[in-house]
């Protein structure tokens, strides 16, 4: 099975933060901003957590892992910006994992972290 050309399909993404995984569908022409709005709506609909109340697209950051050309590793995170870029131009792939971070009260961003259920620690920074 080859890679899916997202310009001809409606891709979905696995948006991850801690133990949360959201499956977000979009069109190749959808902007990063519209994906953020879908993420916010899903978080507010499915998680009864007051920490998500009052959040808007400026409070969340979406990151993807990109392979580092120099090292050949995939430990480099890149923020999906600007919000006006569409999914196709951001070179996102169908079924790709996108990491969600929130803006902290002091204006900094939290580090991306997802649960690793295979590890003894149950939480591993990516």
Domain ranges of the chain: 7-120
- From CA 24, how far away is CA 22, in angstroms rounded? 6
For residue 99, the model assigns a pLDDT of: 93
**Among 3.40.50.720, 3.10.20.90, 3.30.930.10, 3.40.50.2300, what is the CATH number of 7-120?**
3.10.20.90
Q: What is the pLDDT of residue 32?
A: 93
Are 6 and 25 contacting, i.e. CB atoms less than 8 angstroms apart?
no
pLDDT at 35: 94
Q: Cα separation of 64 and 83, whole Å?
A: 14
Low-confidence residues of the chain: pLDDT under 50: 1, 121-126
């Amino acid at each position: 099975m080859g890679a899916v050309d997202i310009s001809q399909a409606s891709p979905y993404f696995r948006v991850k933060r801690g133990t949360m995984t959201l499956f977000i569908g979009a069109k190749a022409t959808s902007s990063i901003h519209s994906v953020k709005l879908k993420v916010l709506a899903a978080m507010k609909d499915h998680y009864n957590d007051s920490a998500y109340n009052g959040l808007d697209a400026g409070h969340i950051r979406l990151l993807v892992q990109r392979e580092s050309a120099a090292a050949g590793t995939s430990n480099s995170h890149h923020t999906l910006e600007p919000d006006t870029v569409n999914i196709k131009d951001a070179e996102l792939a169908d079924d790709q994992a996108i990491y969600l971070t929130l803006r902290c009260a002091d204006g900094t961003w939290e580090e991306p972290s997802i649960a690793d259920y295979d590890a003894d620690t149950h939480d591993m920074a990516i």
